[in-house]
Amino acid sequence: MTASGGRQGQTPGVPALVAKGMSKAFRAVQALEDVSIELRYGRVTALLGDNGAGKSTLVKCLAGVYQPDAGAISIDGVRRAIPTPDAARSLGIETVHQTLAVIDTLDVAANLFLNREYLRGGPIGRRLGLLDHKRMRAECEETLGRLDIRIPSLRRAAGQLSGGQRQAVAIGRAVAWGQRIVLLDEPAAALGVEQTARVLDLIRNLRADGVAVLLITHNMERVIDVCDQAVVLRQGRKTAEVVVGDVTKNDLVAFITGAAASE
């Protein structure tokens, strides 16, 4: 794999990830109950719902962070288990978690390559895990440049970046690896107007590159803006699945609050 090469995307509209009957309980709380969702290449799917509707739980199940109690996930039509975050990544799924985006004390390049570090020093160096700082910095610069992400210094700790820059680094990490499926949990929460616009541009670029994107958001404008389809969760169940062009903002809000249902 390479950070700069693009093995992104397949034919637009073809299902990339299909999850069926996903359920997850935490002790007595049924966080997710029999939820099915389909992500397609070159399409952005919005995942909507109130706080506690189960959105993040679903994303964590798809990202290998949680193990669902029931349900089946297929990728490119092949049934897959996703026991760990590593497994998700090697299946081509990259996730930007809401609160787990970047490691504050590591610099930008270290964050971009975390757990995918380039090594050097021949067989012995590889065995020891000797880092190739130079190559990682160079490719980090190139990747961020390609994505038009502007960061003052790659050597700066991520904790010192603005919220938008941190989120851009996290999304950059998802994109840089040529992943085919990208899950974004509230990528623009707590961002300013301009920074949000930049994140949305990144999402549009992903779409154009044929990547299947899942976007959790609370902002209906954003859904109308960049999403192709929307799935609505309410109290752990799927209450609506719509093509965004067919509905209005008010319809979406009604689905979320439970005032209407499409199925």
Distance in Å, CB of 70 to another protein, minimum: 22
Residues within window 135-164 making contact with another protein, judged by CB under 8 A: 156-157, 159-160, 162
Residue 173 vs 180, nearer CB to another protein: 173
| Identified binder of another protein from the candidate list 20, 80, 133, 237, rule CB under 8 A | 133
Element (H, E) at 70: strand 70-75
- Chain positions 81 to 110 lying near another protein, rule: CB under 8 A, are 84-86, 88-89, 95, 97, 99-106, 110
Rounded Cα distance between 122 and 35, Å, is: 48
Q: How far apart are CA 234 and CA 240, in angstroms?
A: 9
126 or 249: whose CB is closer to another protein?
126
Q: Give the 3-state secondary structure of residue 146.
A: helix
Considering the rule CB under 8 A, would residue 67 count as an interface residue with another protein? Answer: no
Q: Is 71 within 8 Å of 23 (Cβ atoms)?
A: yes
Total residues at interface with another protein (CB under 8 A): 33
Minimum CB separation from another protein for residue 116, in Å?
Answer: 9
Q: How far is the CB of 85 from another protein (least distance, A)?
A: 4
Q: Which is nearer to another protein, 20 or 156 (CB)?
A: 156
> Going edge to edge, which strands form the sheet with 78-80?
29-40, 15-26, 70-75, 78-80
The reply on whether position 227 binds another protein by CB under 8 A is no
Q: Is 129 in the site for another protein (CB under 8 A)?
A: yes
> What is the rounded distance in angstroms from the CA atom of residue 181 to the CA atom of residue 30?
26
**Choices 7-15, 42-50, 128-136, 197-205; region in contact with another protein by CB under 8 A:** 128-136
Q: At what angle do helices 133-146 and 163-176 cross, to 10 degrees?
A: 100
Q: Are 257 and 76 in contact (CB under 8 A)?
A: no
Positions that interact with another protein (CB under 8 A): 63-65, 84-86, 88-89, 95, 97, 99-106, 110, 114-115, 117, 119, 128-131, 133, 156-157, 159-160, 162
